[in-house]
Structure 1
Amino acid sequence: MAEVTASLSIGQVAERTGLSVHTLRFYEQEGLFISPVRRGPAGRRSYTQDDVDWLTVCIILRASDMPLPALRRYTDLVREGAGNEEERLALLREHHGRVTTQIGRLTQSLDLITFKVGVYEDLLDQDRPAATPGYRPPRSPR
């Protein structure tokens, strides 16, 4: 028996993915769907769970700063099917290198920020009276 694929509206897909309706239309215009977006009898866009799953991949790649042309190329390669895995791998390895570099820069930034937080916490702790038995700091107004 043939499997029935549920049809999702653009609003439902926006809600499930967190993308705006405008972004979904933009992704369609940019050719970032594996299959053409179907239209219902009234001309309204109709999506499947496969579309949502693919959009999830796109969202993660974009969140990692994959450039739109690279995402478009990756989509084209996936759409073409088997036989271009080496090119897909090369594209993803290149992006992996960019993300690894980005993580290194972010780690360096986080290390500096953590150090500075510690400096300021130590500085402020020096200005506070030492905890002594029975000491109660003044109440601050609410």
Structure 2
Amino acid sequence: MAYSIGQVAEKTGLSAYTLRYYDHEGLMPFVQRNPAGRREFSEHDLDMVDLITCLKATGMTLKDIRHFVEIAMEGDRTLNERLALFRKQRDQVDQQIAQLQAYRRKVDYKVRYFEACCEAGTEAAVTGDCDLPDMPIYIDDALRVKPAHK
């Protein structure tokens, strides 16, 4: 089955503009055109678009993605080169995950910190160390804001 660029845009969540741009940048030389010059995507092409999207989302440059596509089209003689490329990308993804986990710890700390501030009624009563996000947060009861009685 052949898919139009609009159908591919709908299936992938990429805009038709982005798909055309990727094609213009040499990322999709595998896409065939019909006699009217319109792109016709196959199921395999959809898989490649999905892979291109994955690589882009993990920080691979368009230049490196283009290189991957070019060597993939050369067939089995580039298997080792493609394996090396994906091992390198996996390492980069692992680094991104580690950085995101560190950011998550800091955000978790801030959630706990501001929960304590809300409980105390003031930030002045709360102590903690954002550089040590796994450490406890303390509330000084003497500095708590007493709720006003109605």
Q: Give TM-score scaled by structure 2 length.
A: 0.75
Equivalent of residue 85 in structure 1, options 79, 82, 95: 79
Q: Are the counterparts in 2 of residues 9 and 45 from structure 1 also a CA contact under 8 Å?
A: yes
Equivalent of residue 68 in structure 1, options 38, 62, 82: 62
- Deviation digits for residues 1-25 of structure 1 (CA, Å, limit 9, x no counterpart): xxxxx12111111111111111111
Q: Which has the higher contact order (CA 8 A, sep 6+)?
A: 1
Equivalent of residue 7 in structure 2, options 9, 12, 17: 12
Q: Is structure 2 residue 88 aligned with structure 1 residue 99?
A: no
Query: What's the offset of the Cα at 1:54?
Result: 0.9
- Deviation digits for residues 34-53 of structure 1 (CA, Å, limit 9, x no counterpart): 62x22223222211111111
Q: Percent identity?
A: 38
Which residue of structure 1 lines up, in the alignment, with residue 144 of structure 2? Answer: none
User: Separation in 2 of the partners of 1:34 and 1:85?
Assistant: 19
- What secondary structure, in the 3-state scheme, does the structure 1 residue paired with 2:89 have? helix
- Give the superposed CA RMSD: 1.8
Q: Which amino acid aligns with 1:18?
A: G
In structure 2, list runs of 5 or more residues that go unmatched. Answer: 123-149
Q: Are the counterparts in 2 of residues 34 and 78 from structure 1 also a CA contact under 8 Å?
A: no
- Number of equivalent positions: 123
Q: Are the counterparts in 2 of residues 38 and 45 from structure 1 also a CA contact under 8 Å?
A: yes
- Deviation digits for residues 37-86 of structure 1 (CA, Å, limit 9, x no counterpart): 22223222211111111101111111111111111111111111002111
Q: Are the counterparts in 1 of residues 27 and 69 from structure 2 also a CA contact under 8 Å?
A: yes
Q: Is structure 2 residue 120 aligned with structure 1 residue 126?
A: yes
Q: Which amino acid aligns with 1:33?
A: M
* Deviation beyond 4 Å, 4+ runs, structure 1: none
